Chains A and B, each alone.
Chain A
Amino acid sequence: MIEFERVSRSFTVGDQQVSALRDINLSITSGDYVSIMGPSGSGKSTLLNLIGLLDRPSSGTYTLDGSNVTALNDTQQARIRSRKIGFVFQSFHLVPRLSAAMNIELPLILAGIPVQERKERVQKLLENYGLTDRAHHRPDQLSGGQRQRVAIARATSMHPSVLLADEPTGNLDQTTGREVINLLEQLTEQNVTLILVTHDPALGERASRQLHMRDGEIIPNHR
């Protein structure tokens, strides 16, 4: 359950205040599939960063699963990112010197999960995403689709309740993009909240709920 109450975010550019988000009120229930669309500069990514606790609102409160997370310090927020939130990025963001398996294992290592359990989980994820034979390849030896599959496997390794995807198909061709979207959509069946930022209206329309943004605001009753 994600609840935004009068959330604003402004940046100082030079000596000017620029509002990226203005008074956003938003509520997303668990297991929802939400797409966020809008032109660039409309505040999509800022909203996603705020939901993912990578950024802090200038004003307003953000409640995640019933607790006010705006009040938490950096370390506590990092803990929530580790346990509840998974990220999938447009440019994959895999660590280049680590193998596919190691990249998937990374969140588990950071969270201090015991080695035995880590290995089991990674093995399972590699199977689920059809990457078993690529486990020991480094990212530069993988295709784009494989890289994004590794990234999704990594994002889900800690069983997050919220998965945030920022243009996950932006660097992929049509077919592989479709495959990746299918994988993400399958996750919503396991009660994972999927929030997808995209330019592509065809993609966005697949979501059960669509948010359209312009100038830092969500446009009500779009269409």
Chain B
Amino acid sequence: MKFLDILQFAAASLRGSPARTGLMILAMSIGVAAVVILTGLGEGARRYVINQFSSLGTNLVLVFPGRTETAGIGPGMLLGQIPRELSLDDAQALLQSRSVRRIAPLTLGSSQISRDAKNREVVVLGSSAELLEVRHMTLGKGQFLPAGDLHTSTSVCVLGATINRELFGNASGVGNWLRLGDRRFRVIGILSSQGESMGFNTDEIVIVPVASAHMLFNTSGLFRILVEARSRDSIEQAKKEVETILFSRHNGEKDVTVVTQDAVLATFDRILRALTLAVGGIAAISLAVAGILIMNVMLIAVSQRVKEIGLLKALGAPDVQIRHLFFTEAALLSVAGCLSGVILGEAGVFVIGKLYPSLPITAPWWAVLAAISISLGTGIVFSVWPARRAARLDPVTALAGR
């Protein structure tokens, strides 16, 4: 018996009981679609987080003042000392490192902003010209902070898009003067609208030179230093050098914390990937159930078609052939279920993607592949037994329908 004939015969038997075949395919495709959609969602969440992170800048090393470690009560605390703050000179010193491309010091505070009769509370960010590049911001109009000595305080500011709209309406505020706290600043640029990223809305901030911010808030410490490494490979090197420079400047005291953005990112990546695998695994259980269903249905098919099997034997079909026939039938069921499942799943992913455009949902190829192989695998493995059972029937009793 030729392969094509076996295929046709098996397809004909499947068509012979359309309701059973349809339900079987439905069960299988729901399983496959579940795997595809759920892993797609998990993967979408992972990508969403990663995108959010990389919009903060690339190859970043972050420097915080203070040390997050448990060390009991140090002598400094008893003496009423606070951890040494990060100074502008510290920030500047980091440029000695070969692995560091750019740095951007950050000071954060909030202040009253006012122009004519309008005023509101805003977050004021003190930084340098480099921030634009380091933090991947884009300028809408005008220019960013002037480059130059970090210690020079000039009375210029860059507005977030929302702030500009609230103060100047649809017109551009570039060139106008406004008041921040008790000082006057001239608007030299407006950021283009970027929306919220990682809970920080760049549309609602005002950026001023770091020295001006220090005067405004009467401080000298930095909230953070953003360090951009030369390349992805030099991130670790940059981190080490940043630590060495700062520790030596602080008389060997380890009172700063240096983390790489990658480390943070990798943690999120791991957590979300584990989540994806977990949901995918749960969905895969439904596939195994579908496989057992196929076995059940095939066993029923064998007992319903005992007479037919007896006849095939009488007509000279050897056991192998009968095994192949039933096996092919189950394999066809699995393939059909699998294909419709993948189509159903991808359609689901497409619809969810349309409903939530901000979520980059796509089923990862390995999940689709795993769904296909698990469904085909279970379908085929679980059909071996029914097929063998059919082939082993005694022709005389089978023909009698017993």
The residues of A with any CB-CB pair to B shorter than 8 Å are 49, 52, 54-55, 74-75, 78-83, 85, 87, 89, 93, 95-98, 102, 106-107, 109-112, 154, 158
Contact residue among B2, B9, B314, B318 (Cβ-Cβ distance under 8 Å from A54): B314
Contact residue among B308, B315, B396 (Cβ-Cβ distance under 8 Å from A82): B315
Interface residues on B, range: 20 to 34
Q: In the A-B complex, list the 8 residue pairs whose CB atoms are closest, starting with the nearest.
A: A82-B316, A97-B16, A78-B318, A81-B316, A75-B318, A54-B395, A107-B315, A110-B317
CA distance A154 to B399 in the complex (A): 16
The residues of B with any CB-CB pair to A shorter than 8 Å are 1-2, 5, 9, 12-13, 15-16, 307-308, 310-321, 395-396, 399
Contact residue among B312, B319, B396 (Cβ-Cβ distance under 8 Å from A55): B396
**Pairs A–B under 8 Å by Cβ, sample size 18:** A54-B313, A54-B395, A54-B399, A55-B396, A74-B318, A75-B318, A78-B317, A78-B319, A79-B316, A81-B316, A93-B399, A98-B12, A106-B312, A107-B315, A107-B316, A110-B312, A110-B316, A111-B1
Q: Which residue of A lies closest to B398 (CB)?
A: A54
CA distance A158 to B15 in the complex (A): 27
Q: Which residue of A lies closest to B2 (CB)?
A: A112
CA distance A79 to B313 in the complex (A): 10
CA distance A82 to B1 in the complex (A): 12
- CB of B274, distance to nearest CB on chain A (Å): 49
- CB of B6, distance to nearest CB on chain A (Å): 9
The answer to whether A87 and B314 touch across the interface, beta carbons within 8 angstroms, is: yes
- CB of A11, distance to nearest CB on chain B (Å): 11
| Residue of A78, A81, A97, A98 with most partner-chain B CB within 10 A | A78
The answer to whether B320 and A75 touch across the interface, beta carbons within 8 angstroms, is: yes
Q: Which residue of B lies closest to A105 (CB)?
A: B5
- Return chain A residues, CB-CB under 8 Å to B314: 52, 54, 81, 87, 93
- CB of B211, distance to nearest CB on chain A (Å): 89
Contact A110 B1, CB 8 Å, known A81-B316, A95-B308, A98-B12: yes
CA distance A85 to B317 in the complex (A): 12
- Return chain B residues, CB-CB under 8 Å to A79: 316, 318
- Return chain A residues, CB-CB under 8 Å to B307: 93
The answer to whether B308 and A110 touch across the interface, beta carbons within 8 angstroms, is: no
CA distance A111 to B312 in the complex (A): 11
| Residue of A52, A74, A111 with most partner-chain B CB within 10 A | A74
- Return chain B residues, CB-CB under 8 Å to A106: 312, 315
- Return chain A residues, CB-CB under 8 Å to B1: 109-112
CA distance A79 to B316 in the complex (A): 6
CA distance A74 to B310 in the complex (A): 14
- Return chain B residues, CB-CB under 8 Å to A74: 318-319
Q: Which residue of B lies closest to A83 (CB)?
A: B316
- CB of B394, distance to nearest CB on chain A (Å): 8
CA distance A52 to B1 in the complex (A): 21
The answer to whether B396 and A54 touch across the interface, beta carbons within 8 angstroms, is: yes
- Return chain B residues, CB-CB under 8 Å to A154: 315
Q: Which residue of B lies closest to A52 (CB)?
A: B314
The answer to whether B311 and A95 touch across the interface, beta carbons within 8 angstroms, is: yes
Q: Which residue of B lies closest to A111 (CB)?
A: B316
CA distance A107 to B312 in the complex (A): 8
Q: Which residue of A lies closest to B307 (CB)?
A: A93
- Return chain A residues, CB-CB under 8 Å to B15: 97
- Return chain B residues, CB-CB under 8 Å to A85: 316
CA distance A203 to B116 in the complex (A): 121
The answer to whether B9 and A93 touch across the interface, beta carbons within 8 angstroms, is: no
Add 11 more A-B contacts to A93-B310, A97-B13, A106-B315 (CB < 8 A). A54-B313, A54-B314, A54-B396, A75-B319, A78-B318, A87-B315, A93-B311, A95-B311, A107-B316, A111-B1, A112-B2
- CB of B311, distance to nearest CB on chain A (Å): 5
- CB of A195, distance to nearest CB on chain B (Å): 14
The answer to whether B315 and A81 touch across the interface, beta carbons within 8 angstroms, is: yes
- Return chain B residues, CB-CB under 8 Å to A55: 395-396
- Return chain A residues, CB-CB under 8 Å to B12: 97-98, 102
CA distance A81 to B308 in the complex (A): 16
CA distance A80 to B315 in the complex (A): 10
- Return chain B residues, CB-CB under 8 Å to A81: 313-316
CA distance A54 to B319 in the complex (A): 13
